[in-house]
Structure formats: C-alpha cells, structure tokens
A and B are shown apart, each in its own frame.
Chain A
Amino acid sequence: DVKVTQSSRYLVKRTGEKVFLECVQDMDHENMFWYRQDPGLGLRLIYFSYDVKMKEKGDIPEGYSVSREKKERFSLILESASTNQTSMYLCASPPSSPGLLREQYFGPGTRLTVT
C-alpha cells in the first residue's frame, strides 16, 4: 500500500512565523503535490514537483514556496504566515506512469491555524 504521511495533523502558528509542512511518500513516486482545501472551494493546487529539485507553480502559489531535496520528501513553506492561510493542507502523490497521470494518493492532511 502506498503511504503518504504528513508531519503534523494540527498546527497553530502566529502571524508572521515561518511554517514548514512536511510530506513523505514511501513508494518512490516522482510526482508530488500540495493542495489546500477550504469549504466551498474544493482542493486548489499550490505547487507540485515532478522530480528532485524540480517544482512548478499551481493555481495559488502566492505566499508559499516548496522544497524537494529528496525524492520521498516534499516540503511546503509559508515564509510569513498570514491568517488567510488558515486551511487544511493536503499532500498527494500519484504512481509514476510516463505520459499518463494516475490517481492521487493523499496524505491525512495538516490543519493549520494562523492566529
């Protein structure tokens, strides 16, 4: 079974703090994704990575950055957290299939509250 794990289930941070959200997958997948999930807005793609040290902006990258130093780990960074970044953050990873993206396997999510 593919396993996608996230470092924290719940996180509370103060405005202006630097926040790191970690995601690890254990199946040697090349692609990894970060989404945020908000009521009534569904899942919105923040960033994704298709290889080590490679990253692409998603639909809402502002205020975020990412790091992929190792294949199994994909970090989402909030350089200076703001209250509008309070959300559920989901990491996902599909199996690697050249030319065809398979279904996403999701982590349990990190519920971040910025006060």
Chain B
Amino acid sequence: AQSVSQHNHHVILSEAASLELGCNYSYGGTVNLFWYVQYPGQHLQLLLKYFSGDPLVKGIKGFEAEFIKSKFSFNLRKPSVQWSDTAEYFCAVNAGGDDKIIFGKGTRLHILP
C-alpha cells in the first residue's frame, strides 16, 4: 500500500532562512506527487505537482521540489522564507492509475518575524 512520510512535524525558522521539508513515499511504480499548503483559516491549496519530465518542479510563491526516484523522495524547498509562509504543508502521492491520493501527516511551519 502507498504511504507518505513527512520527516518534520513542526519547524520553526527565522525570516530569510532557507527551508527544506522532507517527504518520502513508498510505492515502486509510477507516481504523481504533490505539495499542498494550508494557511491559517484557509482552504488547502496546491503548491506544486510532479507528473513527469523535469524532476525539479517550481510552484507558487517561490517554492520548488525535487523528485529523486532512487530515494523515493520529493522534498520541498525555498531559499528564503517569509513570515507569510507560516502554514501547514502536506506532501501527497497518487500511484499511477489509482483513484486515491494519500497525504502525509503534515508539517507545521512557523516563521519568526
């Protein structure tokens, strides 16, 4: 069965620090990968996605993620975070052809002004 593991439950950074949130999945076949973000009091929204092609994908608000197939990883990065990036971040995976998207447990990111 598919599963998604997010390494950090709670991350606290200062503004301008660099960010990397880890995500690993367990599935050996073709996968579609997502990062979602939930700002306080708002809907979950898509940050970026990987289906195929260039393993380095760029999303909204300066975020990017790299798909490393050999490591079953899809880590989220941002070179310089802002206070407005305070949110909860969810990694998600869909195994090719399956109907379900499986979410990780989320990482709460708190940026200190």
The count of residues in chain B whose C-beta lies closer than 8 Å to any C-beta of chain A is 25
A41-B105, A42-B104, A42-B106 are contacts. A107–B43 as well, Cβ < 8 Å?
Answer: yes
Are B99 and A109 touching (Cβ within 8 A)? no
In whole Å, how far is B94's beta carbon from the nearest beta carbon of chain A? Answer: 5
- For the complex, give the distance between the alpha carbons of A50 and B98 in Å: 11
Asked if B34 CB lies within 8 Å of chain A CBs, one says yes
Are B51 and A100 touching (Cβ within 8 A)? yes
The chain A residues found within 8 Å of chain B, CB to CB, are 31, 33, 35, 40-45, 48, 50, 56, 58, 90, 92, 94, 99-101, 103-104, 106-109
Q: Return the contact of B32 from the options A50, A100, A107 (Cβ within 8 A).
A: A100
- For the complex, give the distance between the alpha carbons of A45 and B43 in Å: 17
Q: Return the contact of A101 from the options B32, B36, B104 (Cβ within 8 A).
A: B32
Task: List B contacts of A31 (CB < 8 A).
Answer: 99
Are A103 and B104 touching (Cβ within 8 A)? no
Q: How many A-B residue pairs have CB under 8 A?
A: 54
- For the complex, give the distance between the alpha carbons of A48 and B101 in Å: 11
In whole Å, how far is A24's beta carbon from the nearest beta carbon of chain B? Answer: 15
Asked if B17 CB lies within 8 Å of chain A CBs, one says no
Are A40 and B105 touching (Cβ within 8 A)? yes
List CB contacts (< 8 Å) of B30-58 with chain A. Answer: 32, 34, 36, 43-46, 49, 51
- For the complex, give the distance between the alpha carbons of A101 and B64 in Å: 21
Asked if B100 CB lies within 8 Å of chain A CBs, one says yes
Are B43 and A106 touching (Cβ within 8 A)? yes
- For the complex, give the distance between the alpha carbons of A43 and B103 in Å: 6
Residue interface bits B74-102, CB-to-A below 8 A is 1, else 0? 00000000000000001010101111111
Q: Quick one: closest B residue to A56, CB to CB?
A: B99
Q: Quick one: closest B residue to A58, CB to CB?
A: B100
Are B45 and A99 touching (Cβ within 8 A)? no
